[in-house]
Amino acid sequence: MEYTTLGDTGMTVSRICLGCMSFGSNDYRDWVLDEEDSRPIIERAIDLGINFFDTANVYSNGESERVLGNVLDDYERDEQVIATKGYGEMDEDNPNASGLSRKAIEQELSNSLDRLGVDTVDLYQTHRWDYDTPIEQTLRALDDAVRRNQVRYVGTSSQWAHQFADALHTSDRLGLERFQTMQNHYNLAYREEEREMLPLCEREGIGVIPWSPLARGYLTRPHEELAETVRGEYMENSQFAERIATYRANGGEEINERVEELAAEKDVTMAQISLAWLLHQDAVDAPIVGTTSVEHLEDAVEALDIDLSDSDLEYLEEPYQPVEINGHD
């Protein structure tokens, strides 16, 4: 395993972060694993040297946090870096069980800590931008959570670069904890983050931990075969269909074909080529990789050993053309 410092936090994390959306309850998604089937994957991740785990309160309505906490309870807590997120709706009958107001943050963070079985979470992230709550109020609530020792670092997720710049400026102006990480939508088939967000993160010392590094499976198999997997079929016929259409658009199918070609040339998988490309991007600290099998987890870790030349990178990138923003409003 390779390790890196997460942005300017000084905290060391594995270069692969295990995304835990796949763990919890299949009542949430058909392809989600219960605790019994999730445990071997999380345990193998630790065996492989992964020390960075990302979940969220909305994943399986809290069950993902519970599963992760139960498994990590068998290990040395100080050796693990746990990240979770808040913002999404947790109770349709309670309008204050979502968003980033002080009330929502305090109660949902407390619930997350209970499910994870910890007193302090290493990284607490806002899952999206809350248009109904002033950013100053959100930042003050997060700053207080750090001072109460419930949270060590705060981060955020997909939003416009101007919003992120405003949040950083507000923290600096008021002397509040800054967002230290950006969890954004970024992969070989979706590179709009390169225009403004990634340069901003590099300038400000922000740790970048992209979600969907394999484009919801689009970059793991020939594009015409995507619907042949349970998750792929779900993506093609769900609210995520628009995202898959974005990946296919404006050069996306040719990118997929070039990934397939280069994978065959190097005798590795398409997923490994796609992940290796992301690991070669200077702004990226640790892609968040979700999986439902030990085999795919091991493949992801092996991608760290794949060396892509400048000509390889250029060949993969060349067909890309701008697409509509996808992943936030």
Catalytic-role residue among 3, 28, 59, 320: 59
Q: What is the CATH architecture of 3-218+274-307?
A: Alpha-Beta Barrel (3.20)
Cα–Cα distance measured from residue 82 to residue 187, given in angstroms and rounded to the nearest whole number = 23
pLDDT of the residue at 181: 98
Cα–Cα distance measured from residue 74 to residue 167, given in angstroms and rounded to the nearest whole number = 37
Find, among 44, 9, 12, 118, the residue nearest to 291 by Cα: 44
Do the beta carbons of residue 48 and residue 301 sit within 8 Å?
Answer: yes
306-322 residues labelled b (16+ CB within 10 A) or e (exposed): bebeeebeebbeebbee
pLDDT of the residue at 225: 80
Cα–Cα distance measured from residue 282 to residue 60, given in angstroms and rounded to the nearest whole number = 33
39-53 residues labelled b (16+ CB within 10 A) or e (exposed): bebbebbbebebbbb
pLDDT of the residue at 82: 98
Query: Is 247 known to be catalytic?
Result: no
Residue type at 55 in one-letter notation = T
In the block, residue with structure tokens 């299949």? 26
Compute CA 183 distance to the chain's CA centroid, rounded to the nearest angstrom. 5
pLDDT of the residue at 266: 97
Q: What is the largest CA-CA distance in the chain?
A: 54
Q: What is the pLDDT of residues 8-36, one digit of tens each?
A: 999 999 999 999 999 999 999 999 999 99
53: its two tokens: 């785990």
pLDDT of the residue at 64: 98
Low-confidence ranges of the chain (pLDDT < 50): none
Domain extents in the chain: 3-218+274-307
